[in-house]
Amino acid sequence: MWLLAAAAVTLRVVSRGCILRVRLGATDVFIALPLFGSLVNTVSTGFLVDAGLGRDPSELTAREMRAFLQVIYGSMIVACLSISLTKLSVLLLFLDVLTVTWVRRATYVLVVLAALAALGTTLSSVLLCIPVRKFWDTGGSEDDDRTGHCSDLQVKIYIDAALIAALHFAMFFLPLSVIRQMTLPRRQKVWLYAVFGLGFLYADSLAEPRPFVEGVVALTHHSVYVFTVGIVFWSMMEINIPIIVACMPVLKPLVDNFWPRLLLAPPPDSEVLDSDDRLHPPAISSPARLRGCTEMGHL
């Protein structure tokens, strides 16, 4: 799945940097960082397999279980940061292409909320157990068991899922009113609606984090085999799908470069031939613009 996310980011850079010749900025940095986080998460899966992922817990030594939980702790923090940076990248892209006053103000509010949510989810992951080592020191002495405490991981997951899903729903509905008013061909509007529709389905899946919670329950009972399905696969989807969806809106110039008529409106029947018996170019060849809004179809 990381390869799909990497391909999407690469095509995004080609579309913006090589075709549109736009100077790459903060929006591109904020989408490259979660891709790196996704790579770290993918590599950590290999370490989890080496530490005992998919094996019966009775076959694991105390040292292997300790290493297993240490990798889980690190990958959990990386996942929180990667998801948050992806949301910030999308919001910064909105600020680049949308100029409607109320939309920009709402976007700034969402940027602040996304930053606060990122800070909260990351810190709650780092400080899930105090001291931190208690997260993986599950087989220590009685003195170690009495020292420190850990928060309820299931409660944390539900709270994080609610925050992430709420932000995704807000990010989905924000540009819809703008798209409806755009003077774009029907195919281009369908393209934009399809992209944001994928984001909506992803947000809806986050609203019910049952597979993740089932994996956590299995982890608390040291059932590492059940944990395989419960958390690893869900985490990979949670990181990579938003990266792919965030890259899709800016791929239109790349699509136009190879299939120039794919997203164009079909020529009207009433077009008149010129002196060379050729059809005049369709009106969509000039950028369509919304009242007070730059054209989102040419991101």
Domain ranges for the chain, please list them: 2-252
Taking only the tens place, the pLDDT of each residue in 149-187 is 888 777 887 788 788 778 877 887 777 777 777 776 777
Tell which wins on pLDDT, 252 or 284: 252
Mean pLDDT, residues 92-112: 84
What percentage of the chain carries pLDDT values higher than 90? 3
The average pLDDT across 56-82 equals: 79
Is the pLDDT at 288 greater than 70? The verdict is: no
The pTM of this model reads: 0.69
Over 90: is that where the pLDDT of 75 sits? no
What pLDDT, in 10s, does the model give residues 223-282? 544 555 556 777 777 778 878 877 877 777 777 777 766 555 454 444 433 444 433 333
- Residue type for position 246: A
